[in-house]
A and B are shown apart, each in its own frame.
Chain A
């Protein structure tokens, strides 16, 4: 009797599990308005409740994960990012503390965590129901810091073969931290990111699932997110993907249903203070449109148009430069002050950042808005590994944001803030070449660009290499290859690696393909090298040709005294160009003579210097190395040119202005005296 009962129970469980799988797949199919844009490897169906009194998220997650590799897989690896915020000994906070970013004044309720309460395999054709919870263990693949619980693994009862899918039911609880970085709750503003147990990426024959580091970001596989969020009805909610449904519950809560396929992350925000969402359909190309949602803070109401136009410009130009934006939504969040969530990117969902007194000509909020939207391409669509190749998302996006910003708005104005009031200087415009060069100049020899994000000497070097140097390298490459060819190349690279995980060598291959030559010699110097790029005109001279004096085949020639300069005078002119840095790139040299003649040379830059000698009837006026300013990475632009006659007006003009400042300073501070 007992046996029959056990058998029936098993049968019933199997039927229930198969039915669940059937309905899950049916649900996925029915809710998908569009065909997925790529293989849906990691698919999450989540039901989430936010307790705003306890700042606690309780959720259940059904994960359907397909082994897309050619290997049999015996274990699964997961991220639990929020455990970085559960104590000060996590790898994230240890690294942050070393960089001077200490967490202070935290009470028990301020710490956050993500705790898995149960993790079970759901019965499906490949697996029988199985509880993985007892086999769960925390791993520290990067630094062996046993306090760090941001990664866990669980051994499978048997191998998951290539092409097979596993279904997991995960019950978890996440305590929303006080904001430390990117996510958390500030008063009643919630920004919820990296908040759920998230499976790592099985790639190149192994799990790629790094711990959460102070300067690292993320890496995940593409899939479908079908998420229902329940929270008090007074909250306005925004999230990744389409806002499909909003159901008001009897208990004063509302359930929001969001859905998005072909993305690799899901983040959301909630606050009762957001202005009612601004929603606009935007046709960025004939027949192609997307819905923009803008969630604004009340004090930024007047910035609505600036934000909205920035998103539109970002969509329009990114579509033009890197391929048509493929998603049906884009949600821009204006973060709450002090929330620490500004300037972050998630698929179809990102945060900007603004100051209520911004002025025309200042690149805020446009700059950050374009940058974060741009990450939708380099990180979102081109799924590079942000842990291991940070320059491939931050560098590309920094390049993207300036290209888009300058195309849409032109050069911003230099500005200063006086008592919080921004003041612009209309005579000082900021050229595109200036973006990042200062940071690069100060840190160029600290690291190489291609490092794991947590392996840079210091935070400044991570930023300078991953953002600035990469941007400057791309801009230099653009000018070196030519705008048209580069544009084709970068668009091809983008489109080719949409929904894939490219590595540096993939980028090398595309560049070389379009350049028609192996471009490693160029890229290696900047991606795997730390040498500086600095060409200079060292010396220019123009002197009359020397007269032959002395014995020539026994015939004595003496000096002829020429009283006046004749038309036949010939000058021997010399231009010495030097390579002051280690980086070698062929470079143009332009020599201009007083009679208007111009000579253009191409120097391979291989040796340390090159001297050009001319015998011409005119003196040199000036010489310029890299006259078209192709080498944006050159850390000293001023020494790229030399003129025979200095400009006397400029120093006079500027010292006169400076003198005015100093005179006023002295007079102003007599307030402290007589």
Chain B
């Protein structure tokens, strides 16, 4: 019940600050556009004047892509047929869990790093907005909150990285020999398959858990206005372990909603034929609605978690 109450509270609070979500969405879009422009030029130069352009407008020309891939450098290497719909989401999931993001071209790694840092900056604004008695988004208030918490959030981010990568490395050293053994000694591919699935699930859960844990650390910083960052981590830990069902329940409720949103997006995207300007515009619109909903759910998570924290404290 606590979960539902605070989830709806969070929903309501986020609803009141839709302009903030819109602002965050525009930042995401503009940031992404910085790389989309060179990618557009690459594609245009590659097939713009060729007959391939017509095929690519109608569908996907696999032969062209093979040529493009074989010559691709930097950003271009990220263009694959699997960026469509479900592929985009699944690629990111694999990149996250297996940390394949580090195999990406440097420009993508740098961009992701900057975006995470930027988001750490924005988190201060988001939480300080939700902290108000009557949450209302103003640019001035948002910027003030973002600025005042950035340093502490940044330190938290670095600590979370150290912890995450340490845990991942430890788990990796435990899982790797088991997997190697399973791959080398199995007479069927079924055993290693399930092991990979299990270990991936564990790692994903740990990532999510840490996100939740550090969310509460950030919430505590905003609510309690103390300077010592380090103390918030054990406190967040103890809060989560004191109320595991409520904290995890709320987190996974919103996580579940985001999975449903993703599935709806994937299904709808498959139905839109992108062979005309109208189709492309519709698909683009749907895509932006999806990204907006992802950002909205992230804000909703913050808001609900803040409410839950206040409720349980």
Contacts and interface: CB of A to CB of B under 8 A. Distances in A.
Interface in A651-673: 651-673
Interface in B278-297: 280, 283-284, 287, 290-291, 294-295
Contacts of B43: 650-651, 654-655
A577 to B, nearest CB: 14
A24 interface: no
Nearest to B51: A641
A419 interface: yes
Contacts of B270: 426
Contacts, number: 254
Contacts of B117: 673
**Among all A-B residue pairs, the 7 with the closest Cβ atoms:** A674-B123, A647-B53, A673-B116, A674-B120, A641-B51, A650-B56, A661-B88
A655 B36 contact: yes
A431 B67 contact: no
Most chain B CB inside 10 Å of its own CB: which residue of A643, A646, A666: A666
Contact of A423 (B87, B101, B121, B218): B87
A356 B32 contact: no
A637 B67 contact: yes
Contacts of B88: 657, 660-661, 664-665
A639 B120 CA distance: 46
A665 B91 CA distance: 9
B184 to A, nearest CB: 7
Interface in B195-219: 196-197, 200, 207-208, 211, 218
Contact of B116 (A355, A427, A434, A670): A670
A674 B67 contact: no
Given A431-B62, A651-B40, A656 B284 contact: yes
B53 A650 contact: yes
Interface in B60-109: 60, 62-64, 66-70, 78-79, 81-84, 86-97, 101, 108
A297 interface: yes
Given A658-B78, A669-B116, A670-B298, A428 B62 contact: yes
B186 A338 contact: yes
Contacts of B29: 663
Contacts of A420: 189, 192-193, 196-197
A437 B65 CA distance: 12
B208 A671 contact: yes
Contacts of A425: 81-82, 84, 87
A657 B283 contact: yes
Contacts of A637: 52, 63-64, 67
B121 A639 contact: no
Interface stretch (B7-15, B128-136, B157-165, B228-236): B157-165
Contacts of B79: 654, 658
Interface size class of A (residues with CB under 8 A): 35 or more
A437 B66 contact: yes
Contact of B218 (A419, A658, A674): A674
A423 B84 CA distance: 12
Contact of A657 (B33, B83, B120, B211): B83
B96 to A, nearest CB: 6
Contacts of A437: 63, 66
B70 A416 contact: no
A622 interface: yes
B291 A434 contact: no
Given A622-B51, A638-B67, A643-B51, A434 B62 contact: yes
Nearest to B276: A649
Contact of B280 (A426, A656, A661): A656
Given A656-B284, A658-B83, A672-B161, A665 B54 contact: no
A187 B187 contact: yes
Contact of A655 (B39, B112, B276): B39
Given A414-B82, A442-B70, A650-B56, 8 more contacts: A298-B188, A425-B82, A427-B59, A431-B63, A636-B67, A649-B57, A669-B112, A672-B157
Contact of A438 (B39, B49, B70, B157): B70
B49 A643 contact: yes
Contacts of B294: 664, 667
18 contacts: A338-B184, A416-B91, A418-B93, A419-B197, A423-B90, A437-B63, A636-B67, A638-B64, A650-B54, A654-B43, A654-B79, A660-B291, A663-B32, A664-B88, A668-B93, A669-B96, A669-B112, A674-B157
B167 to A, nearest CB: 13
B208 to A, nearest CB: 7
Given A416-B87, A664-B88, A647 B57 contact: yes
A434 B52 contact: no
Contacts of B295: 667
Contacts of A664: 88-89, 92, 290-291, 294
A418 B49 contact: no
Contacts of B193: 356-357, 420
Nearest to B279: A653
Contacts of A649: 57, 276-277, 280
Contacts of A666: 28, 31-32, 111-112, 115
B311 to A, nearest CB: 22
A336 B186 CA distance: 9
B87 to A, nearest CB: 6
A659 B207 CA distance: 25
A667 to B, nearest CB: 5
B47 interface: yes
Contacts of A654: 43, 56, 79
Nearest to A637: B63
A639 B46 CA distance: 9
B16 interface: no
A414 B81 contact: yes
Contacts of B189: 299, 337, 355-356, 420
Nearest to A429: B62
B141 interface: no
B178 to A, nearest CB: 15
Nearest to B48: A646
Most chain B CB inside 10 Å of its own CB: which residue of A298, A299, A420, A663: A663
B87 A647 contact: no
Given A431-B62, A674-B122, A659 B32 contact: yes
B310 interface: no
Contacts of B283: 653, 656-657
Contact of B119 (A640, A648, A662, A670): A670
A160 to B, nearest CB: 46
